[in-house]
Amino acid sequence: MLVTSVRKGDATVRITVMGELDAATAPRLRAEAAKAITGGVRTAELDLAGVTFLGVPGVREIMSLRESTQVVLVHKSNVVDWVIRCVCPELVVTL
């Protein structure tokens, strides 16, 4: 799994995830997001268009990001869209 982040202004960061987001890779998302969500970041835009598999541990990590910042899904793959709609539809809002 590849995770990158780009700061967009003072209060927003975009985190892009590519590959499988599962039990083996979810801790990497947690670590990279913790580095990215600092210094006044209030919104984390998640670009999940490149995610090919989303397991329950990955969903938990996405949901846990909501404890520290507002989370907005800006792009998602069909796999992510299906899982999110089934498991946590409150994240369906997209830019």
- Domains parsed from the chain with CATH numbers: 2-91 (3.30.750.24)
**Tell me, what's the pLDDT at 92?**
65
pLDDT averaged per 10 residues, the chain (length 95): 87 95 95 91 94 94 91 90 84 55
**Tell me, what's the pLDDT at 85?**
86
Please state, in angstroms and as integers, the Cα–Cα distance from residue 23 to each residue in 6, 43, 58, 83, 92, following that order: 24, 25, 7, 15, 22
